[in-house]
Structure 1
Amino acid sequence: MFVLVNLKAYPCDPVEIAEAAADVSDETGVRVAVAPQAAHLSAVAETGVETWAQHVSPVEHGSHTGSTLAEAVADAGAEGTLINHSEARRKLADIDASLDAAERADLETVVCANNPEQVGAAAALGPDAVAVEPPELIGTGTPVSKADPDIVTDAVEAAAAVDESVDVFCGAGISTGDDLDAAADLGATGVLLASGVAKADDPRAALEALVEPLA
């Protein structure tokens, strides 16, 4: 089970969380990655934790002021990137171009989608994984695996129908070890979460409790 912690733009200490994530991953053997703001990628990567970008733009080197260049995030230490998070939605052609950019920079990719239909469309573009995240559940503390488990199982089926090599992750409302177990039982091979760690009073304790069922 892959645990990807998205720090979004929360007022947290990205290095503190990265250090905790690296320690928890080393101690438990669970794969844990952290996705900070682009400006913090290098500092987070220096902790040794697996580091992901929150986004890469569908551009190559050139006149693209304000874009997030895939090669730049790779140079900063990122190993993967989210694409099309529901807080940074993109058109299908831009998702495809961002995947091309990530491939150029040798970044692992997770494309986010709102529902199983979108999961199928995203899987057809050839990412490493897709993540189903109903936007109405993001940040609520109510995981989709409990609110509507059929969304997860249908997403797994939709991805498999297109490309069995594409993993399916589960996001939105993930915050506990039970949520990870439930996601795995429904066929997900990873989870995305944010506030459960980034807004926790003790991020290390939150991470330890989260991965305890997997350790």
Structure 2
Amino acid sequence: MFVLVNLKTYPCDPVEVAEAVRDVDRETEATLAVAPQAAHIERVAETGVETWAQHVDPIAHGSNTGGTLAETVADAGAVGTLINHSERRRRLADIDGAVRAADRADLETVVCANNPAQIGAAAALGPDRVAVEPPELIGTGTPVSTADPDIVAEAVSAAAGVDGEVSVLCGAGITDGEDVLAAADLGAEGVLLASGVAKADDPREALEALVEPL
């Protein structure tokens, strides 16, 4: 299982969380990674944890003030990037451009989508992974795998019907190991979560509880 912890802009210590992710990763067969804010990527990558960007823009070197360049986050130590997170939605053409930009910089990609139909469209763009996360469940602590398991199962089928090489992550409301197991039972190959770790009083304890059943 792949576990990607998105720190969003939560008021946490990104290095502290990154060290917890790194240490728990070393103790489990699951693969754990963290996605800090762009300004923190280099500091987080220096801990040795697998580091992802939260976003890249469909741009190349040039006149793009305020843009997030794929090559820049790669140079800072990121190995992958989220694209089209529910809190950073983009048009299909821009998602495609961002995937192409990430490929150019040798970054792995997770394209997020709201529902199975969008998952199919996202998979057609050739990312490494897609993540299904209904926006109404994000941050609620209610996992989509139990609130509406059909969405996860149908997302897995939708991705497989387009490109069997694209794996599916389950996002929204993931908080504990039972949620991870439920996602796996529905065919997901990983989870995308945020507040369950980033807002935890003890990130390491939260991570250990997350992967303990695996």
Per-residue displacement from partner, 1:106-149 (whole Å, max 9, x unpaired)?
A: 00000000000000000000000110000000000000000000
- Any idea what the Cα deviations from partners look like across 1:74-127, whole Å, max 9, x if unmatched? 000000000000000000000000001000100000000000000000000000
The corresponding residue for 1:41 is: 41
Matches within 5 A, 1:21-40: 21-40=21-40
Deviation of 1:211 (Å): 0.6
Gaps of 5+ in 2: none
Q: How big is the shift at 1:52?
A: 0.1
Name the structure 2 match of 1:126.
Answer: 126
Query: 1:28, CA displacement in angstroms?
Result: 1.6
Please give the alpha-carbon distance, in whole angstroms, between the structure 2 residues aligned to 1:139 and 1:28. 25
The residue that corresponds to 1:179 in the other structure is 179
- Matched to 2:150, the amino acid is D
> Could you say which residue in structure 2 is the equivalent of 1:207?
207
Tell me the CA shift for residue 31 of structure 1: 0.5
1:115-154 correspondence to structure 2 within 5 Å: 115-154=115-154
1:11-69 Cα shifts (integer Å, max 9, x gaps): 00000000010000011232000000000000000000000000000000000000000
Letter in 2 for 1:68: T
Instruction: Name the count of aligned residue pairs.
Output: 214
In 2, the alpha carbon distance for the partners of 1:62 and 1:79 equals: 22
Q: State the alpha-carbon separation in 2 of the partners of residues 49 and 29 from structure 1.
A: 15
User: Secondary structure at the residue paired with 1:44?
Assistant: helix
Percent of aligned positions that are identical: 79
1:164 maps to which residue?
A: 164
Amino acid paired to 1:151: I
The TM-score normalised by the length of structure 2 is 0.99
Task: State the Cα distance separating 1:8 from its structure 2 match.
Answer: 0.1
SS at match of 2:210: helix
SS in 2 for 1:28: coil
TM-score (norm 1): 0.99
What are the residue-to-residue correspondences of 1:44-55 with 2, within 5 Å?
Answer: 44-55=44-55
Name the counterpart of 2:155. Answer: 155
Match of 1:195 in 2: 195
Residue 171 of structure 1 and its aligned partner are, at CA, apart by 0.2
* Aligned counterparts of 1:120 and 1:5: Cα–Cα separation in 2: 24
Query: Per-residue displacement from partner, 1:130-179 (whole Å, max 9, x unpaired)?
Result: 10000000000000000000000000000011011100000000010000
Q: Counterpart amino acid of 2:21?
A: A
After the TM superposition, list the runs of 4 or more consecutive aligned residues in structure 1 that deviate by more than 6 angstroms.
none
